[in-house]
Amino acid sequence: MISPDPRPADESLGAVEMHGHRVLAASKLDGETIYSSDGDDVGKIKEIMLDMNSGRIAYVVLSCGGFLGLGDKLLAVPWNAFVIDPERKRLQMSISSERIKNAPAFDKDSWPSMTNRAWANSVHEYYGIESNVKLDITSGGDNLPGAATSTDAESV
């Protein structure tokens, strides 16, 4: 059995080299500050939403604006809108802070149905990311914000 290389591949984000691949624990991203393509702090990671069929990250939910959690808005951003800035050892979005500031948002008490095809396509379009949404997402995790329900995937 090959053991992980104990040397961090990216000390800031906590990535490690394992079996010739760089891996990162999702828990290391919780609360991580996100920067725009122009270098501005645009929010912090609040949740990471997984596609239950593929096991891949579908969206990162950012908390933006507000002060001490009051008055903040939430953004669901497709994972493909992020890049890793290896020089600064941080996650960065591939769009400007102005575009992020005007992004479609939602309230912490009113999450969108992230398995709704129309919603998913509009979010991907806003961020300029090609949507590969197939929405054959399994139901389950109904207690989680934005979790799939058996009828959501049918909504178009």
Mean predicted confidence (pLDDT) in 16-20: 56
Are 144 and 137 a contacting pair, CB within 8 Å? no
Can you tell me the distance from the alpha carbon of 117 to that of 115, in angstroms, rounded to the nearest whole number?
Answer: 6
**Mean pLDDT over all residues of the chain?**
74
Confidence of residue 20 (pLDDT cuts 50, 70, 90): low
**Cα–Cα distance, 57 to 144 (Å, whole number):** 15
The larger pLDDT score, comparing residue 120 to residue 148, is at 120
Instruction: Kindly report the backbone phi and psi dihedral angles of residue 56, in degrees, each rounded to the nearest multiple of 5, phi listed first.
Output: -95, 160
Q: Name 91's bridge partners.
A: 84
Question: From CA 74, how far away is CA 93, in angstroms rounded?
Answer: 15
Higher-pLDDT residue of 15 and 60 is 60
Of the candidates 74, 85, 144, 148, the residue with the CA atom closest to the CA atom of residue 115: 148
Rounded average pLDDT over 2-22: 49
pLDDT exceeds cutoff 60 at 153: no
Is the confidence at residue 76, as pLDDT, over 50?
yes
Predicted confidence (pLDDT) per residue in 23-61, tens digit: 667 777 888 899 999 989 999 999 999 888 888 889 999
Alpha carbon of 61 to those of 6, 34, 81: distances in Å? 30, 11, 12
